[in-house]
Structure 1
Amino acid sequence: MTQDLPIAVPLDGASNLRDLGGWQVADGRRVRHGLIYRSATLAHLTERDVSTIAALGLRTVCDLRGVDEAAHRPSRLPDGAERIPLPIEPTVGASLADLMRRELSTGEDVVDLLRRAYLDYGTRFIGAYRNLFELLLQPGRHALLFHCSAGKDRTGLGAALILTALGATRETVLEDYRATDRLWRRDLALPPGTPKPLADALYDTHPVLLEAALDAAIEAHGGEMPLLLERGLGLDARRLDRLRDLLLE
């Protein structure tokens, strides 16, 4: 695989912001640079960061955080960038608090919680991703950035669905997903006293969970990828061709 991808945008007050451009898809084309970005929260941008992001030409910022998350830490955006809420509510908070009260909780317990969350993302919240694709089909919305809090889980599945729809292999999808391990500064605050094994499990990427979410989404929409694209994400053959023409070169 290409060793210099993904292309990160360095910031002072945020991390894990990168261009989805450059990844190769099955027909030999590549994702166009400068059209689709993914990131962690944009709530703590410095003035210099805002200028850096403004230079990307962002018109649309899709916020995948839950309603309370977004209200508690509002995004800082440059002029001309419209925030579109596509809330995917976090589902591990109360269960995580319960694990922290149990002395024998392990990282594997956290992964089990995350598994349930990922499966929810790929099934219960598929409508948020469908709306993301609706925006991507509108050239006037480009450049478009989508993000959650860490830019890892909800954002990770969004990137996986986009790359898959564009024709990328599962290997490419996973390579983009794993890049979070080196690009994210793990600056998302956890409850005080979170044991290190639990924190590490929350902060790490989990490729097996991403694959499980993709497979669950496929299974929930007829068991075949073309059916997920059409029934789950609103991409019939005509719209899929249009998406690829817009986003590939």
Structure 2
Amino acid sequence: MKVISENLIKFDGIYNFRDIGGFITNEGRVMKKGILYRSDELSRLTVKDIDVFNQLKIKLICDLRTDQERKSKPSKFLSEQPIEVMNISIQDKSQEFTRFEFFKFLVSKSNSINFETIMKDMYYNMAFVNNSKINEVITLLSKENHLPALIHCTGGKDRTGFISALIQLMVGVPYHNVIEEYLYSNHLIEPKMKKAEKMIRWMSLFQVSSERIKPLLEVRREYLDDIYNEIIKRYGDIETYLCEGCSIKQENLSNLKNILLE
């Protein structure tokens, strides 16, 4: 937990911004810090936050949100240097709702919605349906001129958490450290998720209880465990999954490993 807490970068308007490096790999090497960051959305950056952000010298932002999410909460940052922003939606189109569509969904299906199933389906789609997007993200990150880079979505917990976990596992960070780092989002996003819970309950006209909403608002070990176990079952290891399942060139994986490890 020490590495994870030390990786946290504090902002006034962002909850879940942290470095994903600093871990010792299974081979005894170290995943470098200051190369890859993960975060929630960037619409609430303050003037002070922008100064902190600029100090990180980020060259590339991979925004994993849907078009609707980006329109709803456009990123707000002013950089002293050019930043390339790549919009790579890693969510199934069937899960992209406008606010009104989400309201209709909540009200019409309030008695039958199983948010845990929805979340597990989302992880499955990320790994085995939208795997071309994983290719796009990791191929971009394998170019040294794109680094340091930031990966983010709305809450910085699921899409961002999954991609971050894949990268850490690919370079050899032990799974128990990866899962611990993944679950740390729950600690950081709790205030934001309490607000989201109130909004969802209100939008459902209070037909959906707080307990039923919980799976949507937190990361759970079984979300990552289930998809990791399925990847290992199908491909044997993460690198083979990235090469064969996501069609990422071995050269790009090797480049990213060389950049990230010391």
Q: TM-score of the superposition, structure 1-length normalised?
A: 0.88
Equivalent position of 2:180 in the other structure: 175
Select 2:225's aligned residue among 193, 211, 216.
211
Equivalent position of 1:11 in the other structure: 11
**1:135–1:92 distance in 2 versus 1, CA, 3 Å:** closer
Distance of 2:69 and 2:176 partners within structure 1: 32
Distance of 2:245 and 2:214 partners within structure 1: 33
Aligned residue pairs, count: 245
**1:77–1:214 distance in 2 versus 1, CA, 3 Å:** farther
Q: Secondary structure in 2 aligned to 1:83?
A: strand
Distance of 1:169 and 1:65 partners within structure 2: 28
1:63·1:87 contact (CA, 8 Å) conserved in 2?
A: yes
Equivalent position of 1:28 in the other structure: 28
2:61·2:150 contact (CA, 8 Å) conserved in 1?
A: yes
**1:29–1:105 distance in 2 versus 1, CA, 3 Å:** same
**1:8–1:212 distance in 2 versus 1, CA, 3 Å:** same
Distance of 1:92 and 1:113 partners within structure 2: 13
Q: CA offset at residue 219 of structure 1?
A: 5.4
**1:199–1:213 distance in 2 versus 1, CA, 3 Å:** same
Q: CA offset at residue 117 of structure 1?
A: 1.0
1:20·1:36 contact (CA, 8 Å) conserved in 2?
A: yes
Equivalent position of 1:243 in the other structure: 256
Distance of 1:21 and 1:139 partners within structure 2: 16
**1:184–1:246 distance in 2 versus 1, CA, 3 Å:** same
Q: CA offset at residue 239 of structure 1?
A: 3.4
2:38 is aligned with what amino acid?
R
1:22·1:32 contact (CA, 8 Å) conserved in 2?
A: yes
1:123·1:216 contact (CA, 8 Å) conserved in 2?
A: no
1:60·1:145 contact (CA, 8 Å) conserved in 2?
A: yes
Distance of 2:230 and 2:51 partners within structure 1: 40
**1:77–1:44 distance in 2 versus 1, CA, 3 Å:** same
Aligned-residue Cα RMSD (Å) equals: 2.4
Equivalent position of 2:84 in the other structure: 82
Equivalent position of 1:145 in the other structure: 150
Question: What percent identity do the matched residue pairs reach?
Answer: 25
1:199 is aligned with what amino acid?
I
Q: Secondary structure in 2 aligned to 1:246?
A: helix
**1:43–1:130 distance in 2 versus 1, CA, 3 Å:** same
1:231 is aligned with what amino acid?
E
Q: CA offset at residue 67 of structure 1?
A: 1.2
**1:200–1:96 distance in 2 versus 1, CA, 3 Å:** farther
Q: CA offset at residue 44 of structure 1?
A: 1.4
Q: Secondary structure in 2 aligned to 1:58?
A: coil
Query: Which whole-Å deviations, capped at 9, do the CAs of 1:40-89 have from their partners, x for residues lacking one?
Result: 11111111111111111111110000111112211112322221101123
Query: Which whole-Å deviations, capped at 9, do the CAs of 1:164-207 have from their partners, x for residues lacking one?
Result: 11112221210110010112244253432453113322212111
Q: CA offset at residue 227 of structure 1?
A: 2.3
Distance of 1:96 and 1:218 partners within structure 2: 38
Q: CA offset at residue 103 of structure 1?
A: 5.8
Report the more deviating stretch, 90-99 or 34-43.
90-99
Q: CA offset at residue 226 of structure 1?
A: 3.5
2:134 is the counterpart of 1:129: yes
Distance of 2:127 and 2:12 partners within structure 1: 32
**1:88–1:241 distance in 2 versus 1, CA, 3 Å:** closer
2:205 is the counterpart of 1:199: no
From the two aligned structures, give the one with the greater helix fraction.
2
Distance of 1:201 and 1:75 partners within structure 2: 26
Q: CA offset at residue 130 of structure 1?
A: 1.1
Q: Secondary structure in 1 aligned to 2:61?
A: strand
Distance of 1:145 and 1:178 partners within structure 2: 19
